[in-house]
Amino acid sequence: MIARLVLGIETSCDETACSVAGLDALGVPRVLSNVIASQTDLHSEYGGVVPEIASRAHVEALLPVVREALSQAGVGLGMISAVAVGNRPGLIGSLLVGVAGAKALAWALQRPLIGVDHVRAHLYSGLLDGELPAADALPALGLVVSGGHTAMYRVRSWTDIMRLGSTIDDAAGEAFDKVGAMMGLAHPGGPAIDRLARDPAANDRAYALPISRLSPASLDFSFSGLKTAVLYALRGVPGEAARRAVAAGERAAHVELTSEQRRDLAASFQRSVAEALVLKLGRAAGDGSGYRSLLVGGGVSANSRVRTELASFAAQRKLRLVLPPLCYCMDNAAMIAGLGAEQLAEQLAKQLAEKQSAVGCERLALQSSDLALEAHPMSLECPAHGAMP
Ligand code: KG4
Ligand code: ZN
């Protein structure tokens, strides 16, 4: 039984998504629908997301996607207890479309509006439709690896999340996409590189690519050196001969890789990314004490090699690995609706505590009907969820 259903909206980048989800009696987030309208085709000819095109496409897709999410969940708008929306970070024009739509819905329904941080939602995504309530996974070491973010977090509660380190240049997904573009693969490059590297004949040690360590205790990531190494493998190392050729107006030497070499390069690149992530997770976990689980989310968590490396890392460190199923790795609204339901429950509990202290705790039934949650009027800031440090 799901007590309160939350409708979640996600439009931070190039996916227009809507989902209906809520917490079951044990506090496990259950997803009733998860609808995603991807704009990949609209952006592919540009080799990346074009913000103006993305915003306009969100405007067109939002209402049909919301209707479809309600229909797949088998619920009417009247059954929705709150509207959650990814309100940061992201492309500002894209965020505005989802936020405006969510505000209008919340206002029309007279329901609370809950602002959800997109990066926190990725951290939460592995718990969706899982076996344990979010609270049982905490405290956790968190890793978000997406197209826009690569960072580690200490998660004590959904209101107490501390960033431990993050990329100093490209996000891991960005590196995948740029390497994919260098190799002439379709955008986004991540899934295409994964496909090439999954060939059982691929040799992931064929190319000696760097794994960035930074300073000995650093918890930050860097993928720019790795990207340059791939560029040199594809185009040759710039040297005297290349400089002379360019000075003479000729094209620098171009290395033509065979399809086997391309496959090996993809596998070697993927191994370097996965090992870099695990290296920093090892530093962040320290002796492992204090963490019950490893929460991972974001598009790159769909990568086959990354998933294998994370599984063996978590097993060695005796951490429970909470990894989203593939359908919740990339941007989606189920993670927004799920974390929104969590935030709603926390808000209700807080209001109950305040009421209890106001009436001296006497005979206050723990019923949500007592707690007509005040829709924070058109404010997207859930007070308990300030900016991430
Ligand atoms: O989480 P996400 O959908 O969007 C952001 O919040 O950024 O992540 C998108 C990123 C893209 O860079 C894409 O190439 C990458 O996730 N990605 C992958 C795989 N699937 C998606 N990277 C590596 N291997 C994959 N299988
Ligand atoms: Zn994302």
pLDDT of residue 376: 39
pLDDT tens-place string over residues 343-367: 999 888 888 888 877 776 454 444 4
Q: Which atom of ligand 1 is nearest to the CA of 330?
A: 3
Q: Which atom of ligand 1 is nearest to the CA of 118?
A: 6
Domains of the chain: 5-129+331-370 (3.30.420.40), 140-324 (3.30.420.40)
pLDDT of residue 29: 95
Torsion angle, alpha carbons of 23, 28, 33, 37, to 10: 110
Helices H, strands E: what count in the chain? Answer: 12, 10
Distance from the first to the final alpha carbon of the chain:
36
Report residues of the chain scoring pLDDT below 50.
361, 363-389
pLDDT of residue 288: 64
383 C-alpha to ligand 1 centroid (Å): 31
CA distances from 108 to 78, 80, 347, 373 (A): 10, 12, 21, 16
Q: How far apart are CA 55 and CA 225, in angstroms?
A: 33
pLDDT tens-place string over residues 303-339: 999 999 999 999 999 999 999 999 999 999 999 999 9
pLDDT of residue 364: 45
Closest CA to 20 of 62, 87, 94, 71: 71
pLDDT of residue 273: 98
Q: Is 143 helix (H, G, I), strand (E, B) or coil?
A: strand
* Protein residue with its CA nearest to atom 13 in ligand 1: 190
pLDDT of residue 289: 65
Q: How far apart are CA 66 and CA 20, in angstroms?
A: 9
What are all long-range contacts of 367-374, with beta carbons under 8 Å and residues at least 24 apart?
368/3, 368/4, 373/82, 373/112, 373/344, 373/347, 373/348, 374/112
pLDDT of residue 41: 87
pLDDT of residue 367: 43
Residues at CB less than 6 angstroms from ligand 1: 13, 146-148, 173, 176-177, 188-191, 194, 298-300, 302-303, 330-331
Beta bridge partners of 160: 157
Rounded to 5, what percent of the chain is helix, strand, coil? 45, 20, 35
Q: How far apart are CA 229 and CA 280, in angstroms?
A: 20
pLDDT of residue 353: 85
Residue 292, sorted as left (phi over 0), alpha (psi -120 to 50) or beta, turns out to be: alpha
Q: How far apart are CA 382 and CA 361, in angstroms?
A: 26
4 C-alpha to ligand 2 centroid (Å): 25
pLDDT of residue 1: 82
Q: Are 118 and 12 spatial neighbours (Cβ–Cβ below 8 Å)?
A: yes
Alpha helices in the chain (DSSP H): 40-44, 51-73, 92-109, 118-124, 134-137, 172-182, 189-197, 224-235, 240-247, 259-285, 304-316, 334-358
190 C-alpha to ligand 1 centroid (Å): 6
pLDDT of residue 255: 64
